[in-house]
A and B are shown apart, each in its own frame.
Chain A
Amino acid sequence: MFTYSLLAGLLFGLYFSLIGLGLNLVFGVMRIVNLAHGDFLMLGAFLAFWLFTLFALNPVPAIVIAFLVFASVGLPLYYLLVPRLLRAKDPEMLSFILFFGLSQVIEAVTTIAFGTSERSIPGDQLGHAVAAVAGFFAGHKVDTGPVELLGQTFPASWVASGVASGCAVLLVYVYLYRTRLGYLTRAVMDNREEAIATGINVHRVSAVAFGIGLGLAAAAGVFAPFMLGSITPAMGGEVTVTAFAVIVIGSLGNPLGTVLGGIVYGISYMFMQSYYSSWANLLPYVLLIAILLVRPSGLLGRRVRRA
């Protein structure tokens, strides 16, 4: 039970990091709070669901499609909302309310379009992908089914989600630390005023970061049917709170802290599920408040937040 909880926690932790990563990137670069993050995740989940239902498309390519679609939604949305917001007196607080309004609009439109019924994608769809990859490396055909890790069996979809999340996090790391635009992004995160003074086109950098943030949310949404249960238009709010718990535990504005936050969150979630399952729902909230009060800057935070 202990090993099982630990490994499952690690898999979920990687997935939770992916959920939090986009939110943290947007916060880190623009100092605005995207309260509609969970709703973009929900839209990504619906996109994957429709791609699967209409075109029988496997969720794995859907990840890339979801990312690209929502990254390109993010760019115009940035120019529509954010520059105006940043001119206001208290952008952080106003963004909080503005994106709350956006989340309500998204939820309402999705409800009007799809109704409130719960939807899901069969869990073996990701299993097929895992089996194909395993078969490629093993040199022979591998059966779709539960995956064995250190003597414990897990649903193949968990392993696939965990691994894919890990890859996505790695890609964001490469973007931030190995590309020119990522370098500029980190400059804006570090000090916005000085970045402007050195001639960096802050709006362009921010718009790309915003697009990537939404794209990551949507990509995380593709796994939602496997990791979070069936998808409904109303699922966004809870996801947003979870994402906040994850990034606050890590450190606000530090994308790599998110990975630590996600893993801490995932493992403690799984241990709660195994040992005190009836109180597990309480965990994100209590963990969030406790960490905020004890270490307002998060586990990896270097200094007290200015905000």
Chain B
Amino acid sequence: MPRIVRHVLLILLPVVAAFAILPSVYGNQLLLFNFMIFMTLTQGLNIIYGFTGYLPFGYVGFFGAGAYGFSLMVIHLHAPPLIALPVGGGAAVALAVLLTPLFRLSGAYFSIANLAAALAVFQVVSNPNLESITKGPYGISLSGVFDPTLAYGTALAVLAATIGLVIYLRNSHFGMALKAIREDPISAGMAGINVVRERVIAWLLSALVAGLAGGVFAWYVSVFYPETVFSVEFTIFAIVFALFGGNATVIGPILGVIILYGIYNAVGISTPQYFQLLYGALIMGLVMFLPNGLASLLQRWGIDVP
């Protein structure tokens, strides 16, 4: 059995089945939905950070762009949600295209510039002068299309597609090329890889994932403020979850979300500052002692981590 089929059977199917069955057993659908959103975002971040090494600190900008792209279609054009959703993803991709010049920067400069870009988008969207278009800081209400069951199903489809994409990257020439670029762009270029093109494709895919997640999030919660969908916390959580589990793997980000977001829901909601302390310390510990996450620990014991 080829690796790619094995990964689909052993990782993708169980995750999808779990999220499909759990709502009928467990009552808190919102919590399950949030798990799916974070899993999607973490895998989306994994595409750009894990496979290319670029850490987008403003990743939430794409999530917000997706949420607003979706909402504005619904509000102004009365589009049905399933048509508005691709527009949300398109808005995120458009923003990513706009930001491709940032790839002239590298390392921390790219991260900072990307953060600045996300904050700039937030400032524009929440500006009271644009109230007639974006509702400014007063928030969006989509009660007309509120349909949690369908939104939940759509989120599951987005999650499945994202995990499928990461499985493809993990087992394809394209993913291998990205990792080669991450390790040494000059040698990769000499080996015949089109560095700029591959990198941009990964960037756009990553933005698309975040945009779709943002759109379906807007649909599910249906009432939100700009601060909600542009909260830097989304980026931070996704980075920590991916780091904890292990970048550039399929299973790492999934484990990261299940373990850490599980802990967050146990202690973080009532006392967020204790969780902040915990994950701050966790990040420091990971960087110092386990920079490649749980997956690297398993690999050290000789286990093949998908």
Residues from chain B with a CB closer than 8 A to the CB of A103 are 280
Known interface pairs A292-B113, A293-B104; A84-B288 also in contact (CB < 8 Å): yes
Cβ of A228 under 8 Å from chain B: no
Q: Are B55 and A93 in contact (CB under 8 A)?
A: yes
Contact with A along B89-115 (1 / 0, CB 8 A): 000000000000110111111011101
Cβ of A124 under 8 Å from chain B: no
Q: Within the complex, what minimum Cβ distance (angstroms) separates B79 from chain A?
A: 29
Q: Are A102 and B280 in contact (CB under 8 A)?
A: yes
Q: A282–B284 Cα gap in the complex (Å)? A: 31
Q: A65–B239 Cα gap in the complex (Å)? A: 37
What's the count of A-B pairs with C-beta under 8 Å? 122
Q: Are A288 and B284 in contact (CB under 8 A)?
A: no
Cβ of A149 under 8 Å from chain B: no
Q: Are A97 and B279 in contact (CB under 8 A)?
A: no
Q: Are B274 and A278 in contact (CB under 8 A)?
A: no
Q: A96–B235 Cα gap in the complex (Å)? A: 14
Interface residue ranges, B against A (CB under 8 Å): 53, 55, 101-102, 104-109, 111-113, 115-117, 119-120, 123-124, 127-129, 232, 236, 239, 243, 273-274, 276-277, 279-284, 287-288, 291
Q: A109–B281 Cα gap in the complex (Å)? A: 11
Q: A98-B287, A241-B116, A307-B106 are in contact. List 6 more A-B contacts (CB 8 A).
A: A101-B279, A101-B284, A244-B116, A281-B123, A288-B113, A289-B120
Cβ of A112 under 8 Å from chain B: yes
Selected contact of A111 from candidates B107, B127, B273, B291, CB within 8 Å: B273
Q: Are A282 and B273 in contact (CB under 8 A)?
A: no
Selected contact of A93 from candidates B104, B107, B236, CB within 8 Å: B107
Residues from chain A with a CB closer than 8 A to the CB of B243 are 97
Selected contact of A278 from candidates B102, B115, B129, B277, CB within 8 Å: B129
Residues from chain A with a CB closer than 8 A to the CB of B117 are 285, 289
Interface residue ranges, A against B (CB under 8 Å): 33, 81, 84-85, 88, 90, 92-98, 100-109, 111-112, 237, 241, 244-245, 248, 252, 278-279, 281-282, 284-286, 288-289, 292-293, 296, 305, 307
Q: Are A111 and B111 in contact (CB under 8 A)?
A: no
Q: Are A105 and B288 in contact (CB under 8 A)?
A: no
Q: Which 3 A-B pairs have the closest CB atoms?
A: A104-B280, A101-B283, A108-B277
Q: Are B101 and A293 in contact (CB under 8 A)?
A: yes
Q: Are B107 and A278 in contact (CB under 8 A)?
A: no
Q: Are B108 and A93 in contact (CB under 8 A)?
A: yes
**Interface CB pairs A-B, < 8 A, 17:** A90-B107, A93-B108, A96-B108, A102-B280, A103-B280, A104-B276, A104-B280, A105-B276, A106-B280, A107-B276, A111-B276, A244-B116, A285-B119, A288-B112, A288-B116, A289-B113, A292-B113
